[in-house]
């Protein structure tokens, strides 16, 4: 004889306090999406949340997992070709399944391998980027976010300036005339302490973001002093070292370069689009790291840059 199980989650909590986020994290799934030339597969990790009213003890947790499986099956069937759209679909389904919620949120991060060539030797290699996507759904709207996190190299302008000053004094002591010394220093960037940098760039809109993920990856990779590559022969190492020292940047400069890249690449992006930029540098000569970030609407950016 079957019996109906009690709905414990629907009961009254001991303390009537609403919760802004309840859900699951670390949900690992294989995501297959349709690309222009061929399908591509990502190993993705999801976090899924809904809010909970004060009069309910808990959420129906299994529904979160059901929704993720549903949207991934739809993606495999060719119904989804953008990860932000996948997140948006999942958030809207969560909102529909949890009738007691007002907000549903889905976050996704995935590692993506890109094929490319080394900068000087032209050897085939691969680079790794992190895809960042999310969506927040309410009864009024669904805002979707797409972006990336990439790794590059930066050189400290302050450290380089001190090295240049030392080199100028040495050239003077050796009897090199000022004009020749300046010409040399302009051609040969001086040493500065370098670090591995991590640039994050995302765009959020209340419709499917009107941007291309590859564009965002290119903007992020070019925001630092130089790109880096997984495989490098000696000419490639020389290329990266020279390029980075010829383009020394503070962590703040990298964030400004990210913003500038968005403005230049997408001059017609809607005013209400939100741009998030962050630069993190793993400092080489300090035990601390450096970080700078900004979250701002396109309307505000245009005011600042135009003003």
- pLDDT digits 0-9 by tens, 272-304: 999 999 999 998 888 898 999 999 999 999 998
* pLDDT tier, 45 (very low <50, low <70, confident <90, very high otherwise): very high
Look at residues 212, 269, 223, 219 and name the one whose alpha carbon lies nearest to residue 247: 223
pLDDT (average), residues 159-167: 93
User: Could you tell me whether strands 40-52 and 19-33 are parallel, antiparallel, or unpaired per DSSP bridges?
Assistant: antiparallel
CA atoms within 13 A of residue 70's CA, in its CB half-sphere:
15
Whether 108 contacts 145, CB under 8 Å: no
Per-residue model confidence (pLDDT) at position 59: 60
What mean pLDDT value characterizes the chain? 87
Q: What is the mean pLDDT of residues 254-271?
A: 95
Instruction: Say yes or no to pLDDT of 83 above 60.
Output: yes
| Biggest CA-to-CA distance, the chain | 102
Domains and CATH numbers, the chain: 18-156+193-306 (3.10.270.10)
Convert 169-202 to b/e letters by CB count within 10 Å (16 or more is b).
eebeeeeeeeeebeeeeeeebbebebbebbbbbb
Q: Which of 79, 81, 83, 78 is nearest to 147 (CA)?
A: 83
Residue 94: pLDDT over 90: no
What percent of the chain is predicted at pLDDT more than 70? 87
**How far out from the chain centre does Cα 73 lie?**
26
155 contacts 192 by C-beta, under 8 angstroms: yes
> Is pLDDT at 198 greater than 80 in this prediction?
yes
Among candidate residues 195, 218, 199, 210, the one with its CA nearest the CA of residue 276: 199
121 vs 283: CA distance, rounded Å: 29
C-alpha triplet 163, 167, 173: angle, nearest 5°: 145
Q: How confident is the model at residue 6 (pLDDT cuts 50, 70, 90)?
A: very low
Dist. CA 260–CA 255, nearest whole Å = 9
- 75 touches 93 (CB < 8 A): no
Q: What are phi and psi of 2, to 5 degrees?
A: -85, 155
* Half-sphere exposure for 203 (CA within 13 Å, toward CB): 28
Q: CA–CA distance from 278 to each of 130, 141, 230, 260 (Å)?
A: 14, 26, 23, 13
- Coil/strand/helix, residue 277: strand
Distance of alpha carbon 15 from alpha carbon 52, whole angstroms: 13
């Amino acid at each position: 004889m079957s019996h109906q199980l009690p709905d414990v989650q629907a009961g009254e909590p001991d303390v009537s306090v609403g919760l802004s986020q309840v859900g699951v994290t670390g949900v690992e799934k294989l995501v297959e999406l349709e690309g222009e030339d061929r399908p591509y597969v990502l190993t993705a990790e999801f976090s899924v949340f809904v809010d909970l009213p004060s009069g309910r003890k808990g959420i129906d947790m299994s529904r979160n997992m059901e929704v993720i499986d549903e949207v991934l099956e739809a993606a495999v069937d060719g119904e989804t070709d953008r990860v932000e759209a996948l997140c948006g679909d999942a958030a809207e389904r969560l909102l529909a399944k949890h009738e007691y919620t007002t907000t549903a949120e889905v976050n996704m991060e995935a590692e993506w391998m890109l094929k490319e060539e080394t900068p000087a030797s032209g050897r085939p290699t691969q680079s790794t980027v992190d895809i960042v996507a999310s969506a927040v759904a309410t009864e009024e709207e669904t805002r979707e976010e797409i972006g990336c996190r990439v790794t590059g190299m930066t050189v400290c302008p302050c450290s380089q300036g001190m090295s240049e000053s030392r080199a100028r004094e040495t050239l003077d002591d050796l009897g090199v005339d000022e004009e020749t010394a300046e010409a040399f220093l302009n051609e040969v960037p001086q040493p500065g302490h370098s670090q591995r940098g991590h640039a994050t760039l995302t765009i959020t809109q209340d419709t499917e973001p009107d941007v291309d993920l590859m564009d965002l990856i290119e903007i992020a990779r070019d925001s630092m002093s130089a790109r880096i590559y997984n495989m490098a022969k000696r000419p490639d190492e020389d290329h990266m070292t020279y390029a980075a020292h010829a383009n020394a940047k503070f962590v703040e400069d990298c964030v400004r370069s990210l913003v500038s890249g968005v403005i230049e690449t997408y001059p017609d992006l809607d005013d209400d689009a939100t741009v998030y930029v962050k630069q993190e540098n793993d400092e080489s000569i300090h035990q601390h790291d450096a970080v700078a970030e900004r979250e701002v609407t396109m309307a505000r950016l245009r005011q600042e840059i135009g003003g």
